[in-house]
């Protein structure tokens, strides 16, 4: 039942990064170049140069990247991440920077992962994606390690993490083996009705949040209404959300296959959407299922999903549960999940110092 979510609030942050200053220090780290006096120092300097070349560069505006921290949540009713737009926080003076060995966990993690920077990368056993120059992709377990580093809940099922070399945005791939989703609703997607259904579902969730003294999550409307490409079998949409004065845009792509759906979540700063979305869509043009896993390879007797395109947007898990009578049995598990999702986002929001629009950072 777990999906991806974003919201905002004010509880204690994830223990991986203990303070806002620490996070800034991590993301603004620039390794120093020590003087070279002998063979051993020369070897060390060469290694540092090689490492920097391998990493290309951690961008100067990496603080913007800190705003991309996504969170896991529940289907589409509690919703998934795309970007969080906030004022860029000032960079701490150089004199306040901690020693390099204390400030580079992100760099160390990235360097430890197995990256594909050209050619084709496998996305699980179901698919592959072309990686053009200037981009990088890591599969399992790298994708899960990165999600964990960002403070996300992770079930280890992330199949891939795709980003440009400067890490200014990223997309994460997961696969849901729900069966063959019929696309017979492709010409009947009612954006207004879908939005209404999503809001009704969120009203119920908000009642529980209020009972527990937590801020509600408000669905503001479509950033991009749902649309389906019958040639690529891609279903895309973007929705705008708010909570406690903060706003977030959830941009998702569902790629239909024979046995399920590849879920791709785009994570970028909201101000980047206009330029990043076309870039992201072009990259997804290089995504292909293995022949036996493609939508066109469906055979009689294959598992068929309990819902269609609308269900993928509104929350297929809930719709299937309602049809099969499992919803009542699941209800007792849903509230704790929803509460946990919002609480985790609240911790990240507090960590990064997100404030309401009429406040300064």
Task: Read off the pLDDT of residues 217-274 as tens digits, 9 standing for 90 and up.
Answer: 888 999 999 999 999 999 999 988 887 777 778 899 999 999 999 999 998 888 889 9
CB atoms within 10 A of CB 182: 14
Residues of the chain scoring pLDDT < 70:
1-103, 153, 316-361
pLDDT at 259: 97
CATH of 2-86+95-352, one of 3.40.50.300, 3.30.413.10, 3.40.1000.10, 3.90.228.20: 3.40.1000.10
Max CA separation in the chain (angstroms)? 74
Report which secondary-structure segment, H or E, holds 235: strand 234-243
Amino acid 318: pLDDT: 46
Q: Round to the nearest angstrom and report the end-to-end CA distance of the chain.
A: 35
At CA 71, angle to CA 181 and CA 317, rounded to 5?
25
Angle of helix 105-112 relative to helix 39-55, nearest 10 degrees, comes to: 80
The confidence score (pLDDT) of residue 115 equals: 97
> What angle (nearest 5°) sits at the alpha carbon of residue 232, between those of residues 143 and 3?
35
pLDDT of residue 361: 29
What's the pLDDT score for residue 106? 85
pLDDT confidence of residue 12: 30
Which backbone phi and psi does 262 adopt, to 5 degrees? -85, 120
Q: What is the pTM of this model?
A: 0.64
**Cα dihedral 154, 267, 167, 63 sign:** negative
Q: What pLDDT shows up at residue 43?
A: 52
Specify the residue for token string 């406690």: 244
CB 251 within 8 A of CB 224: yes
Nearest-angstrom CA–CA distance, 142 and 163: 13
Return the bridge partners of 72, or none: 4
- Which pLDDT score, from 0 to 100, does residue 300 have? 95
pLDDT of residue 161: 97
Three-state DSSP state, 127: strand
My answer on whether omega of the bond before 141 falls inside 30° of 0, hence cis, is yes
> Considering Cα of 17, then 334, then 200, then 253, what sign does the dihedral take?
positive
Residues 86-119: tens digit of each pLDDT: 222 233 344 455 545 455 788 899 999 999 999 9
């Amino acid at each position: 039942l777990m999906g991806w979510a974003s919201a905002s609030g004010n509880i204690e942050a994830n223990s991986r990064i203990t303070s806002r200053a620490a996070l800034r220090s991590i993301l603004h780290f620039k390794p120093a170049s020590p003087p070279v006096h002998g063979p051993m120092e020369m070897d060390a300097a060469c290694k540092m140069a090689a490492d920097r070349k391998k990493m290309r560069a951690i961008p100067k505006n990496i603080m913007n990247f800190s705003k991309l921290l996504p969170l896991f949540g529940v289907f589409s009713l509690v919703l998934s991440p795309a970007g969080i737009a906030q004022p860029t926080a000032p960079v701490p003076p150089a004199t306040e920077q901690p020693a390099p060995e204390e400030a580079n966990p992100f760099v160390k993690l990235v360097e430890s992962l197995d990256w594909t920077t050209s050619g084709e990368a496998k996305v699980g056993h179901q698919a592959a994606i072309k990686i053009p120059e200037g981009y990088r992709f890591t599969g399992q377990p790298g994708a899960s390690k990165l999600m964990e580093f960002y403070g996300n809940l992770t079930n280890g099922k992330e199949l891939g993490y795709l980003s440009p070399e400067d890490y200014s945005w990223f997309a994460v791939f997961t696969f849901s083996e729900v069966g063959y989703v019929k696309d017979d609703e492709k010409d009947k997607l009612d954006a207004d009705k879908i939005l209404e259904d999503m809001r009704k579902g969120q009203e119920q969730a908000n009642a529980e949040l209020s009972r527990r003294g937590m801020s509600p999550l408000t669905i503001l409307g479509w950033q991009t209404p749902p649309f389906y490409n019958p040639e690529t079998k891609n279903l895309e949409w973007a929705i705008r959300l708010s909570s406690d004065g903060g706003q977030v845009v959830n941009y998702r792509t569902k790629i239909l296959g024979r046995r399920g759906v590849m879920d791709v979540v785009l994570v970028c700063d909201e101000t980047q959407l206009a330029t990043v979305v076309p870039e992201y869509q072009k990259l997804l043009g290089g995504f292909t299922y293995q022949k036996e896993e493609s939508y066109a390879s469906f055979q009689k007797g294959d598992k068929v999903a309990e819902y269609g395109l609308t269900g993928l947007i509104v929350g297929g898990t809930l719709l299937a549960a309602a049809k099969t009578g499992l919803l009542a049995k699941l209800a007792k598990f849903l509230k704790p999940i929803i509460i946990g999702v919002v609480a985790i986002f609240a911790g990240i929001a507090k960590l990064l110092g997100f404030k309401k629009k009429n406040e300064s950072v």
